[in-house]
Amino acid sequence: MKYIYTLLTATLLLTACGGDKKSKSVEDLVASNNLEALIEKREEIDAKQLEFAAQLKLINDRISELDTVKKLPLVTSLLIESEKFDHFLELQGNVKTKQNLVIYPEMGGTLTRVYVKEGQNVTKGQLLATIDDGGLSQQVAQMQIQADLAKTTFERQERLWQQKIGSEIQYLQAKSSYEAQQRAVNQLKSQLSKTSVRAPFTGVIDDVITDQGSVVAPGQSQLMRIVNLEDMYIETDVPESFITNVTVNKDVKIEFPILGKSMDAKIRQAGNFINPANRTFKIEVAVPNKDKSIKPNLTAKLKINDYSSENALLIPQSIISENAEGEQYIYIIDNKNTDNEGVAKRIIIKTGKAQGDVIEVINGLKNGAEVIQEGARSVKDGQLVKVINSL
């Protein structure tokens, strides 16, 4: 036993010395600066390396045949097929209507009568309230009597003038007097009409602000609010970078979180002015409101279709990695066999627009490729993997 131990130690020492000798021999060869000897030594080492690589491949192949329990990384894959891709710009806006008006009186006085109540539907021109005219109606009546007299005088003078009776000046004076009286009456009637508050458009009385019997002043006292819920729209600001994509007639998906409803619409107007304060422009989106459930100032979420592709290659954003040069890459399955085993191959890609959890690949990925999904961040380029639950 002692002899065997001594022999083993001596063998190890000789091997180490031989290794040192070889190492020193290479160092001496390098130090000699002999080009031919260096090239010869490199060819010798390359030949041995190829020989070792071939032997290693034979061994690995044989191990693969004999080892029935392989410890390969398990991954899932996704078969990439081109599909239609719509990208949406997501914004938030408020519902508005151009027919949302607070009515003010045009004449001061006592609000003698209110004919409508809150929630009542009214039509354009309908009488909503009246204000005390302060005797203006009596003045109109008196002026109308004088105007009627002036009219009668003018008509008689006109008939005489047509019969060549009387002077031209008498005819002209009668005509002028009649026209002056008529204008005075019309002016008073116009003033009197301001005591009647009428609906400027068809809509709903949303709020009666001033009670009957109150004294109101022109341009100061708010009488009531009238709203038309048919011509509704959403106004929002869009960043200037989307000015070429967000245009009139673009499709828009509208969501009302409070109401729990959504609808499809189109952009009816896109602004031509860039706000220098926030570099945005305004758009208007028409909102159908047949059931009158949408109210002014309601918050809405807009999804504007600013980009579409008929043959897009989409992948999950979670499988994308980035190298030190800032390049994006993913892994695909290459040389897949009948046992769902293949080689993980890294490819550099260029991505475009993202929507939700997916992103479009515009360069580097081919249609029909099998992309590693789960396990994409744990494999290495050229590594043998086993695909489970492949799609």
Same domain, 123 and 268: no
**Residue spans of beta strands (DSSP E) within 243-391:** 251-256, 261-270, 280-287, 299-316, 321-322, 328-334, 341-355, 358-363, 370-372, 384-387
Of 326 and 61, more confident: 326
Same domain, 231 and 221: no
Longest dimension (CA), the chain: 168
What is the model's pLDDT at position 70?
62
Residue 232 backbone phi and psi in degrees, to 5: -100, 155
Of 14 and 280, more confident: 280
| CA 48/CA 28 separation, integer angstroms | 21
- Note the pTM of the prediction, 2 decimals: 0.55
Q: Does 191 have pLDDT greater than 60? A: yes
The helix/strand/coil state of 279 is coil
Of 63 and 265, more confident: 265
What is the model's pLDDT at position 69?
59
- Percent of the chain exceeding pLDDT 90 equals 39
**Where among 226, 250, 279 does a domain terminate?**
226
**Where among 198, 226, 254 does a domain terminate?**
226
CATH code of 237's domain: 2.40.30.170
Q: Does 18 have pLDDT greater than 70? A: no
Same domain, 231 and 268: yes
What is the model's pLDDT at position 369?
93
Print the domain residue range for 217: 106-226
Same domain, 222 and 110: yes
Q: How many residues does the chain have?
A: 391
- 60: Cα separation from own chain's centroid: 55
- 160: Cα separation from own chain's centroid: 79
What is the model's pLDDT at position 68?
58
Contact 266, 250 (CB under 8 A): yes
**Where among 257, 285, 309 does a domain terminate?**
309
| CA 267/CA 234 separation, integer angstroms | 9
Read off the pLDDT of residues 340-374 as tens digits, 9 standing for 90 and up: 889 999 999 999 999 889 999 999 999 999 999 99
Instruction: Tell me the β-bridge partners of 86.
Output: 308
Same domain, 203 and 246: no
What is the model's pLDDT at position 10?
40
| Token reading at 300 | 């809405």
Same domain, 239 and 94: yes
- Percent of the chain exceeding pLDDT 70 equals 92
Contact 305, 296 (CB under 8 A): no
Q: Does 302 have pLDDT greater than 90? A: yes
Q: Does 390 have pLDDT greater than 70? A: no
Provide the mean pLDDT of the chain.
Answer: 85
Q: Does 97 have pLDDT greater than 60? A: yes
| CA 34/CA 38 separation, integer angstroms | 6
Same domain, 188 and 245: no
Residue 307 pLDDT level (bands cut at 50, 70, 90): confident
Same domain, 158 and 207: yes
Same domain, 144 and 39: no
| Token reading at 210 | 């001033």
Same domain, 172 and 198: yes
Give how many domains the chain has, as a whole number: 4
What is the model's pLDDT at position 336?
87
CATH code of 324's domain: 2.40.420.20
Same domain, 246 and 322: no
Task: Identify the burial level of 221 via C-beta atoms within 10 angstroms of its C-beta, where 0-12 means exposed, 13-18 middle and 19 or more buried.
Answer: middle
| CA 49/CA 341 separation, integer angstroms | 28
Read off the pLDDT of residues 202-236 as tens digits, 9 standing for 90 and up: 989 999 999 998 999 988 889 999 998 888 899 99
Residue 11 pLDDT level (bands cut at 50, 70, 90): very low
Same domain, 353 and 289: no
